[in-house]
Amino acid sequence: MNKRERELYLEYMSQYPWARASYVLKLVQALAYAEERGMDWTKCLVCDKGVLLPLSDYGPDGSAVIFKAWACSNNKCGFTIRIDKGQATFDYIERGRS
């Protein structure tokens, strides 16, 4: 973990102490990578607090499918966009509210 990742990790964990450490680690690695390369992230369309992070997967034949889905970085928001066989699917599952 580099210095910027550590800063982001500590900041995120102080704001969301209930978040899983493994989730936060992957999140801050992606955010630090984007900052380093000057990338802009799209704001979440539902909560307007998180950003949509691109996710990749493997196809049925084992080949990589780049940017198959996007998920909100806000742990309480469950907004996702997924592409299956050329069709975009939007989903929203509210989390963390009791």
* Residue-level pLDDT at 3: 93
Q: For residue 36, what pLDDT is reported?
A: 87
Alpha-carbon gap, residue 86 to 52, rounded angstroms? 19
Does the reported pTM lie above 0.75?
no
DSSP-based three-state secondary structure for 44 = coil
Q: Provide Rg for the chain, Cα atoms.
A: 14
Cα(94)–Cα(15) distance, rounded to whole angstroms?
A: 19
Which pLDDT score is estimated for 17?
A: 85
Tokens of 30: 């992606």
pLDDT tens digits for range 29-72: 888 888 888 878 788 888 888 888 888 777 777 777 777 888 88
Read off the tokens for 62: 């084992």
